[in-house]
Each structure stands twice: as C-alpha cells, then as structure tokens.
Amino acid sequence: MVDPMHFEASADDYAAARPPYPAGLWERLRTLGLLRPGATALDLGAGTGQATGPLLEAGLRVTAVEPGPRLAALLRAAHPAADVRVCRAEDVELAASAVDLVVAATSIHWMDVDVLLPKIYTILTPTGRLAVWRNVFGDADASTTPFRARIAEIIAARRAPPRPGPPAEDIDATIEALTTSGLFVVTDVSTYRWTLELDAAAIGRLFRTFSDWSAGEVEQAVEAVNDPGGTVTEHYSSWLVVLAPIERLSAQ
C-alpha cells in the first residue's frame, strides 16, 4: 500500500515542484459564486498550499488541514493568514454550519469518505458546497510524446502490485464515491487541459513527489528528459466536481 505520508518526506520538493491549478478552474469556481470575499473555506489535505493560496487571494477565510508536520510548517510559512491545523481531514473539528466551501484538491483519494462526508455535511452552511478537484499528470487525450512513451515503459516494468481500487484520476469513480452515501449531489463538472515546460531538474523534483514512484524510477524519468535535449512539454489535465448537500439543496 502506498504511504499517504510519502509527501511529508519530500515536503521541500512538494512545495517547489507541484504546479498550480489551471486558471480556468479558479474562474469556474468564481462563476459559480464559490469564491466570495469573506466566505469561509476548509482546505482538506492542503499540502503546502497549492489551493490555500488562491483561496486566500480571493478573499476567503481559510482553515487548511494537513496531517504532515513538515508540510504544514511550509504551508503556515507561505500563507500565515490561514488557520493551519495539523491533523487528518477525518479528524478536523469545526462547528455545525460553519463553512461555506469545503475543498479537496488532489487529496480526496487519501481520505476515508465514509467518515469524512457526514462530517462535511454537518459543517457546511445551508448553501455550502463541496468542491473536489485534481491535476492529472499525463493527459491521456494528448498525443504521446517520446518522454511519455518512456514513462509508460517505466510503469509497465514495475513488479509491485498497483494501488488497490480505481485510479485516483478516475473522475467517474470519484463521483460515485462522493455520492453513494446519498448526502451529496453533483451540481457541476468541468475539465481543463494545459501544458508545462519542464527540464530534467524540474521533472526530478516533481516525480519525487509522486507517491507510487521509487527513487530509481525517478532517475529513469530524469534520464528520459536528458535524452531528447533536456526539456519536455508535459500535457496535463484537471477536473473539477462541485457537490451540494442533497436535502439542503432541495430546501433552497
């Protein structure tokens, strides 16, 4: 089983290498009325603040929950305006109807949704929303580059069994997990495609933050960048799912 605290050991790389979420995603949240100045937000599995920062910049009051002490320290240093809590998302304690927006950005797959969703349902305001999104590293719909072909070879050569369950990138499986309880209904779904130019050092930093990549595999990925000339254009995608508490939605 992949260790969810893997990121704690590579906290500095995580802060430096994880790319921001695409501008279109933030614009969609704004269009939906979820980035209201003065509103309260809860960022679950906040890492080093890739979502916390833009939420604060939009004028929201943010509680950021991160279980890794090193990651949380970097998060607190980068975003001192946030209320940073070092605990699991499942263990956070907030008053009922205290939060307008709950966010899980590239983190929900690490959480026990059977425990988490009833808690989110309780702490959301009557008009609150749950927004879940993730970056997908490697756009399946983009043309296969030589670098991506080499990455596929590295993955295919693995002997360790894959992580159990559906892939974390699978939006349909994520939606099913978030709605099976009957507490939430999907109100909006959107996807975004984007690219990033990376050199060998940047690839090394980024791939070291991937929980299912060994040190040897990361070195192979770095070598795959050096072979075609030292830089690669990585094609990525992101998806966003917004959900509402189902009984409260019907009462609005």
* CATH code: domain of residue 190: 3.40.50.150
In a domain, 161, yes or no: no
Residue 49 placed within a domain? yes
User: What is the model's pLDDT at position 3?
Assistant: 53
- Asked if 65 and 46 touch (Cβ cutoff 8 Å), the reply is yes
d(CA 146, CA 167): 24
The answer to whether residue 218 sits within a structural domain is: no
What is this structure's pTM?
0.89
**Is there a domain that residue 22 lies in?**
yes
Instruction: Decide if 217 is inside a domain.
Output: no
For residue 127, tell me if it sits in a domain: yes
Number of domains in the chain: 1
- Domain span at residue 55? 6-137+167-194+237-251
> Could you tell me if residue 224 is inside a domain?
no
In a domain, 92, yes or no: yes
- Give the Cα separation of 190 and 128 in Å (integer): 19
pLDDT of residue 1: 37
Identity (one letter) of the amino acid at 234?
E
Distance of CA 140 to the CA centre of its chain: 18
Characterize the bridge pairing of strands 40-44 and 61-65: parallel
pLDDT in tens, the chain (252 residues): 345 566 777 778 877 878 899 999 999 999 999 999 999 999 999 999 999 999 999 999 999 999 999 999 999 999 999 999 999 999 999 999 999 999 999 999 999 999 999 999 999 999 999 999 999 988 888 888 888 899 999 999 988 766 666 678 899 999 999 999 999 999 999 999 999 899 999 999 888 888 788 889 999 999 999 866 789 888 999 999 999 999 765 555
